[in-house]
Amino acid sequence: MNQRPLILISNDDGHEAKGLQALVDVAKEFGEVVVVVPDGPRSASSHAITMNTPLRLKLYRTDEDGTRYYRSNGMPSDCVKLGLKVILKDRKPDLIATGINHGSNSSASVLYSGTMGAAMEGSVENHPAIGFSLLDYAPNADFSAAQVYVRKIIGKVLANKIPDFTALNVNIPKAPLEEIKGVRITRQALGYWHEELIERTDPYGGKYYWLSGWLENNDLAEDTCEWALQHNYVSVQPVHHDLTAHQHIKKIKFLEE
Amino acid sequence: MNQRPLILISNDDGHEAKGLQALVDVAKEFGEVVVVVPDGPRSASSHAITMNTPLRLKLYRTDEDGTRYYRSNGMPSDCVKLGLKVILKDRKPDLIATGINHGSNSSASVLYSGTMGAAMEGSVENHPAIGFSLLDYAPNADFSAAQVYVRKIIGKVLANKIPDFTALNVNIPKAPLEEIKGVRITRQALGYWHEELIERTDPYGGKYYWLSGWLENNDLAEDTCEWALQHNYVSVQPVHHDLTAHQHIKKIKFLEE
Nearest residue of chain B to residue A150 (CA atoms): B255
Q: How confident is the model at residue A52 (pLDDT cuts 50, 70, 90)?
A: confident
Q: Which residues of A touch B208 (CB under 8 A)?
A: 54-56
pLDDT at residue B8 in the model: 98
Interface of B with A in 1-40 (CB under 8 A): none
pLDDT at residue B193 in the model: 87
Q: What are the φ/ψ torsions at residue A114 (nearest 5 degrees)?
A: -70, -30
In a domain, residue B38? The reply is: yes
pLDDT at B1 over 60: no
Q: Strand, helix or coil at B183?
A: strand
Instruction: Provide the residue range defining the domain that includes A100.
Output: 6-189+219-256
In a domain, residue B105? The reply is: yes
Q: Which residues of A touch B185 (CB under 8 A)?
A: 249, 252-253, 255-256
**Partner residue facing B208 (CB), from A56, A199, A244:** A56
Q: How confident is the model at residue A2 (pLDDT cuts 50, 70, 90)?
A: low
User: How many interface pairs between A and B have CB atoms less than 8 angstroms apart?
Assistant: 236
Q: How confident is the model at residue A246 (pLDDT cuts 50, 70, 90)?
A: very high
Pairing of strands B57-62, B68-72: antiparallel
Q: Are A150 and A26 in contact (CB under 8 A)?
A: yes
CA angle A114, A118, A124 (to 5 degrees): 130
Nearest residue of chain A to residue B245 (CA atoms): A239
- The count of structural domains within chain A is 1
* Per-residue pLDDT reduced to its tens digit, B44-67: 999 999 998 999 999 999 999 999
Q: Which H helix or E strand runs over A140?
A: none
Nearest residue of chain A to residue B187 (CA atoms): A244
Q: How confident is the model at residue B37 (pLDDT cuts 50, 70, 90)?
A: very high
- State the amino acid at position A196 in one-letter form: E
In a domain, residue B35? The reply is: yes
Q: How confident is the model at residue A3 (pLDDT cuts 50, 70, 90)?
A: confident
In a domain, residue A203? The reply is: no
pLDDT at A210 over 90: yes
Whether A184 contacts chain B with CB within 8 A: yes
Q: Which residues contact B70 (CB under 8 A, 6 or more apart)?
A: B34, B35, B36, B37, B57, B58, B59, B60, B79, B82, B83, B87
Longest dimension (CA), chain B: 66
The neighbouring-strand residues paired with A112 are none
Whether A44 and B49 lie within 8 Å, measured CB to CB: yes
Report in angstroms the alpha-carbon separations of B76 from A114, A206, B95, B122, B192: 16, 22, 16, 11, 23
Q: Strand, helix or coil at B29?
A: coil
pLDDT at B161 over 90: no
Look at the alpha carbons of B222, B227, B231, B237 in this order and tell me if their dihedral is positive or negative: positive
pLDDT at residue B2 in the model: 60
What are the start-end ranges of the H helices in B61-113?
Answer: 76-82, 109-112
Q: How confident is the model at residue A1 (pLDDT cuts 50, 70, 90)?
A: low
- State the amino acid at position A233 in one-letter form: Y
* Per-residue pLDDT reduced to its tens digit, B193-252: 888 899 999 999 999 999 998 888 989 999 999 999 999 999 999 999 999 999 999 999
In a domain, residue B68? The reply is: yes
- The backbone region for B43, taken as left when phi is positive above 0, alpha when psi lies in -120 to 50, beta otherwise, is beta
Whether B98 contacts chain A with CB within 8 A: no
Pairing of strands A57-62, A68-72: antiparallel
Whether A59 contacts chain B with CB within 8 A: no
Q: How many CB atoms lie within 10 A of CB A242?
A: 18
Cα distance between residue B98 and residue B34, in whole Å: 12
Tell me the mean pLDDT in the region B117-123: 97
Tell me the mean pLDDT in the region B59-88: 97
A87 min Cα distance to partner chain B (Å)? 11
Whether A203 contacts chain B with CB within 8 A: no
pLDDT at residue A56 in the model: 97
In a domain, residue A246? The reply is: yes
pLDDT at residue B3 in the model: 83
Q: Are B121 and A111 in contact (CB under 8 A)?
A: no
Whether A89 contacts chain B with CB within 8 A: no
Whether A224 contacts chain B with CB within 8 A: no
pLDDT at residue A192 in the model: 87
In a domain, residue A62? The reply is: yes
In a domain, residue A139? The reply is: yes
The interface pTM score, or ipTM, of the predicted complex is: 0.93
pLDDT at B187 over 70: yes
Tell me the mean pLDDT in the region A218-229: 95
**Partner residue facing A238 (CB), from B56, B160, B252:** B252
Q: Which residues of A touch B82 (CB under 8 A)?
A: 197, 209
* Per-residue pLDDT reduced to its tens digit, A189-202: 999 888 889 999 99
Does a cis peptide bond (omega within 30 degrees of 0) precede residue B100? yes
Whether B45 and A48 lie within 8 Å, measured CB to CB: yes
Give the CATH number of the domain where residue B236 resides: 3.40.1210.10
The neighbouring-strand residues paired with A210 are A198
